[in-house]
């Protein structure tokens, strides 16, 4: 008994419109085609559904009994299809993402708040983790995708460049560093430096960049957290080299930043996905937003990634984002 949906729809159309010709019209098929479909249905269930002659079409008693069954069936089916359609049309679900701490504390929250304001049925689970953990979590399917530093070349992972996160020199406003014609390694080296801890990716990058410029980065102070480094700068302990995207360097009237005029003081922030693994539409959508935000500025730099947080954004964030 291979009853099919077209047969059921045909049955309901004939019932609803009270005739084969009319029903055929509504179904966009010819009347003979409909005749055959109804007959097939009747043959397959072994029951006559209509008593029909050229002048009238009437449900049999069996048809009357079965009508609500078929109606419910089609209603359920169409309801489920509507649900599924929503799935592709309106992003929904939970987006799990592993992010470098600097990015998680930087532009990401605003982007998430904005995204959630437009897609209320999406929630986020943010996991902040260092580069290697980000990779591992993506690979384990603990998260849908990751945001980390580029240069990954794993066979089972794909990366998409999001933006170049330049290192900037952070100095007290009015400091001589602001007046320099060039902020290059040799020049910077003249000043006491507040550098990040050896374990951090920022420090690694700085060390490598100094090395590439034939120099060695010598810290006057070291800090584990960027906010500490910033405080040290404000206290006049030295100049810091931090990612332009870092939220910690913004919001203070008494410090300023300037790009460093050396290649190497840049890291590529990339989206990391499992290769050959489909994502929720909501995730696809969100990565698009990330890329759009990054590309919306000609020279990708941190302030560019700022997003206008809509009213209610903060609450949405509070409700939808769960810290790791």
Site residues for DNA per CB under 7 A: 6, 19-22, 28-33, 35-40, 52-55, 57
Give the whole-angstrom CA distance, residue 55 versus residue 74: 28
Q: If contact means CB under 5 to 8 A according to the sort of partner, which of DNA, its own copies, none does residue 57 touch?
A: DNA
The alpha-carbon radius of gyration of the chain (Å, integer) is: 31
Compare residues 52 and 133 and give the one whose CB is closer to its own copies: 52
Residue 74 beta carbon to DNA: minimum distance, rounded to whole angstroms: 17
Which of the choices DNA, its own copies, none does residue 234 contact, using the CB cut-off of 5 to 8 A by kind?
Answer: none
Q: Which of its own copies, DNA, none interacts with 31 (beta carbon under 5 to 8 A by kind)? A: DNA
If the CB atoms of residues 57 and 143 are measured against DNA, the closer one turns out to be 57
Nearer to its own copies, 126 or 269 (CB): 126
Minimum separation from the CB atom of position 279 to DNA (A): 17
**Residues ≥6 apart with Cβ < 8 Å to 317:** 109, 112, 113, 116
Look at residue 55 and give the partner it binds from DNA, its own copies, none, a contact being a CB closer than 5 to 8 Å depending on partner kind. DNA
Q: Considering CB distances under 5 to 8 angstroms, the limit depending on partner class, which of DNA, its own copies, none binds residue 297?
A: none
Instruction: Tokens 């019932």: give the residue.
Output: 15
Task: State how far the alpha carbon of 176 is from the alpha carbons of 173, 215, 315, in Å.
Answer: 9, 21, 42
Query: What do you get for the CA distance between the two ends of the chain, in Å?
Result: 52
Buried b (16+ CB within 10 A) or exposed e, 79-88: eeeeeeeeee
Residue 35 interacting entry, from DNA, its own copies, none, C-beta within 5 to 8 Å by type: DNA
By beta-carbon proximity to its own copies, the closer residue of 66 and 247 is 66
Q: Which chain residues interact with its own copies by CB under 8 A?
A: 1, 3-6, 45-48, 51, 53, 58, 60-62, 65-66, 69-70, 72-73, 76-77, 80-81, 83-85, 87-88, 93, 144, 276-281
Rounded-to-integer distance, Cα 191 and Cα 17, Å: 88
Shorter beta-carbon distance to DNA: residue 60 or 227: 60
Q: How far is the CB of 193 from its own copies (least distance, A)?
A: 45
Could you give the maximum distance between any two Cα atoms of the chain, in Å? 102
Comparison of 60 and 228: residue with beta carbon closer to DNA: 60
Q: How far, in Å, CA of 86 to CA of 246, rounded?
A: 37
Beta bridge partners of 276: none
Alpha-carbon distance of 94 to 311, in angstroms, equals: 22
Cβ closest to DNA, residue 31 vs residue 215: 31
Least Cβ distance, residue 289 to DNA (angstroms): 29
Q: What are 207's two structure tokens? A: 């060390």
Nearer to DNA, 55 or 61 (CB): 55
HEC profile for 180-237?
CCCCCHHHHCCCCEEEECCCCHHHHHHHHHHHHCCCCCCEEEEECCHHHHHHHHHCCC
DSSP 8-state code for residue 21: H
- Min dist. Cβ of residue 249 to its own copies (A): 36
Task: List the single partner that 36 binds among DNA, its own copies, none, CB under 5 to 8 Å by kind.
Answer: DNA
Say which entry of its own copies, DNA, none residue 51 contacts (CB below 5 to 8 A, set by partner kind): its own copies
Residues with Cβ within 8 Å of 129's Cβ and at least 6 positions away in sequence, in order, are 98, 99, 100, 101, 137, 324
Could you tell me the smallest distance in angstroms from the CB atom of residue 270 to its own copies? 21
């Amino acid at each position: 008994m291979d009853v099919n949906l077209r047969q059921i729809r045909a049955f309901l159309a004939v019932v609803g419109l009270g005739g084969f010709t009319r029903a055929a019209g509504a179904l966009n098929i010819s009347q003979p085609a409909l005749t055959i479909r109804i007959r097939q249905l009747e043959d397959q269930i072994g029951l006559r559904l209509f008593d029909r002659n050229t002048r009238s079409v009437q449900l049999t008693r069996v048809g009357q009994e079965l009508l609500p069954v078929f109606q419910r069936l089609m209603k359920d089916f169409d309801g489920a299809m509507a649900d599924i359609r929503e799935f592709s049309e309106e992003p929904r679900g939970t987006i799990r993402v592993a992010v470098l701490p600097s990015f998680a504390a930087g532009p990401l929250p605003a982007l998430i708040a904005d995204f959630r304001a437009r897609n209320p049925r999406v929630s986020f689970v943010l996991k902040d983790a260092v580069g290697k953990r980000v990779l591992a979590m993506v690979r384990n399917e603990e998260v849908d995708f990751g945001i980390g530093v580029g240069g990954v070349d794993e066979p089972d992972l794909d990366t998409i460049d999001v933006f170049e996160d330049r290192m900037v020199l952070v100095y007290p406003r009015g400091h001589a560093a602001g007046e320099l014609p060039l902020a290059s390694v040799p020049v910077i080296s003249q000043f006491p430096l507040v550098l990040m801890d050896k374990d951090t990716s920022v420090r690694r990058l700085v060390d490598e960049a100094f090395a590439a410029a034939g120099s060695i980065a010598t810290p006057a102070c070291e800090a584990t957290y960027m906010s500490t480094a910033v405080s040290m700068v404000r206290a006049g302990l030295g100049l810091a080299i931090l990612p332009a995207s870092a939220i910690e360097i913004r919001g203070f009237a008494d410090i300023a930043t300037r790009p460093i005029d050396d290649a190497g003081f840049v890291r590529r922030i990339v989206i990391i996905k499992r290769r050959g693994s489909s994502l929720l539409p909501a995730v696809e959508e969100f990565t698009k937003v990330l890329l759009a935000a990054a590309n919306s500025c000609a020279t990708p730099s941190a302030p560019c990634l700022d997003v206008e947080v809509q009213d209610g954004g903060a609450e949405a964030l509070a409700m939808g984002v769960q810290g790791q």
